Amino acid sequence: MTEARPLEGVRVLGVEQYMSAPYCTLLLADAGAEVIKIERPGQGDPRRSIGPFAQAGHEKMAGGFMAYNRNKKSLTLDLASPDGQTIFKRLVEVSDVVVENLRPGSMDRKGLGFEALRDVNPRLIYAGISGFGRVHDVEDERSYGDRPAFDIVAEAMSGIMNLVGFEDKPPSWTIYGLADIYSGVSAALGVLQALYMRERTGEGQFVDSSMLDNMIALNERMVMLYSL
């Protein structure tokens, strides 16, 4: 008899691409959650076309895509169309979690952001992964909240890169995708905490995972030493 896994019965919608959100939902899927990966028509997740590739009969499969998307289902859906948005909202009605790492504001402009989806399902947990976080003062011109970012940006701005390499050489990139991977882990932890809180309150909430914040937290010893 197979033992039940911790997240069996939890349904997750992954509006995701590349690494950070797919890694988050990968962890949830490995723990037993039903993860439905939402992919754009025609192209799907861009990592489907990024090597290295494995040959399976007459079909080539991208290794990075397979590694980050095991145990998931996939659904092609055009979220820019009214029909696609309607279908997505119907899925939200019967789901527990949405995880996305699109450019900040993208889902809001489609009418599919947290505030809109909370009206559809008050118990929904919505995790947004971005370079600089979603919870910020939009009137503050110093805020980077609406800017896109890749892994290397968060690594550089957090000071992590300054700890890598040699003292007499420029800062170096760390392991492949460190900021993406660690932000996926942080988002998954936030989702688990939100699921636990929902058992006590009956309500969902927004989980904000900022790549820069996550890297600064990972670099906490150096920040502490510099502060002292």
Check residue 35 and report its DSSP letter: E
Q: Which H or E element spans position 67?
A: helix 63-68
Distance, in Å, from the CA atom of 57 to the CA atom of 139, rounded to the nearest integer, reads 55
Q: What amino acid occupies position 90?
A: R
- Tell me which residue of 70, 64, 136 sits closest to 104, measured CA to CA: 136
- Tell me which residue of 220, 21, 198, 200 sits closest to 107, measured CA to CA: 21
The residues annotated with a catalytic role in the active site are 180
Distance, in Å, from the CA atom of 76 to the CA atom of 69, rounded to the nearest integer, reads 15
Distance, in Å, from the CA atom of 115 to the CA atom of 51, rounded to the nearest integer, reads 37
Other beta carbons less than 10 A from residue 226's beta carbon: 9
- Where do we find the tokens 């009418």? 111
With contact defined as beta carbons under 8 Å apart, do 10 and 71 qualify? Answer: no
The length of the chain, given as a count of residues: 228
Return left, alpha or beta for 75; rule: phi > 0 is left, psi -120 to 50 is alpha, else beta: beta
